[in-house]
Amino acid sequence: MATLKTNTLTGTTTAGSIAVTGEGNSTTTNLQQGLCKCWADFNGSGTAALTDSFNSGSFTDNGTGDYTVAYTSNMASGNYVFTGCNVYEGGTAGNIFTLTPKYGSADNRGASSVRMASAYDTQSNIALYDYEQQQFQVVGDLA
């Protein structure tokens, strides 16, 4: 088995573009497009704060279940994919728990930050909530 050690990968046709052949050897994926550009684990309860992260700068607690994370390196635009979750801490079975870009907020997905809402649905009401453990990731183009 050979070992390849390097500090930099550069595409031969385009410096920032490297194709990786998939498992079935029939398709390729662009390496840069497939990388997670930002992720974070944070505590939303009490004194809200990042516990671990990548490309996540300042963290702002805007109120119950309402947070903003600024990126260390900006995204190219607000057109990227955000996924998030929070850890179930108890309550009524059948509730839906979610961490999403904050609906109705002008800055919910900007190039420099994302504003998100942490909530649960009791099947009759949606309520914002500060879960202790929450995670999110962002996939898209960096600026």
pTM beyond cutoff 0.95 = no
What digits encode the pLDDT tens for the residues 17-58?
888 888 888 888 777 777 899 999 999 988 999 999 999 999
Q: Detail the DSSP E strand segments found in the chain.
A: 19-21, 28-30, 38-43, 49-54, 56-63, 66-71, 81-86, 96-101, 113-121, 126-128, 134-139
Position 3 pLDDT exceeds 70: yes
Tell me the two tokens of residue 108.
């919910």
φ and ψ at residue 84, rounded to 5 degrees: -155, 165
Please give the average per-residue pLDDT across 3-29, as a whole number: 83
What digits encode the pLDDT tens for the residues 63-102?
999 999 999 999 999 999 999 988 877 655 556 678 888 8
pLDDT attached to residue 60: 94
- The Cα 131–Cα 98 span in angstroms is 10
pLDDT attached to residue 43: 93
Position 107 pLDDT exceeds 70: no
